Amino acid sequence: MGNAGQFHEGLVLFAIFTAIGLGFLFLDRWYRRALAAKGRWPTVEGTIISASLKKVLRGTGVYGPYTHVPEVRNQYVVDGQRYEGNRVGYGDWGISDAAEARKLLNQYPPGSTALVHYDRAKPRVAVLQTPKATGCTFPLILAVILLFFGAISLAGAIFSLAGGHG
């Protein structure tokens, strides 16, 4: 393949890696903003009705193939309207370690009260724990790796155009 072909191939790779990398960068930024907004939801006092663990088959893992999803039924009132929720956190994926899941569940004994964070626009959407604004670092790490490969592709394209070998 000639220098022009290598240059064009490098530019195509640069464009692909950069576009996907930027997509992950924007996804990370959006996700962090969404988490930060949820962290600012208003709160009301709610009553814990029941607390249980749901065992869900998720595949393999250090603690086995199951994930334990805490379900904490609670009631709360917003502007005179009674609501019922069952989510501990936003995006409850569950906890692999059953002991850790029980530890979380023990924070919400039936009959006790807890702060309920609710969405002002949709009060029926509520959680007992708000997320940390740090979020998941996976999209950011992937974005950096892809942008790095994009830069390497661009450098290779320029090197090939300048008459380099490779």
d(CA 160, CA 164): 5
Region 141-166: mean pLDDT is 83
Q: What is the mean pLDDT of the chain?
A: 83
Q: For 67-114, how does the pLDDT look when each residue is reduced to its tens digit (9 = 90+)?
A: 888 889 999 999 999 999 998 876 666 777 888 889 988 999 999 999
68 in helix, strand or coil? strand
Check residue 16 and give its pLDDT.
Answer: 92
Residue 54: which of 84, 89, 95 has the closest Cα? 95
Residue type, 1: M
Prediction pTM value: 0.58
* Structural domain boundaries in the chain: 3-36+139-161, 41-130
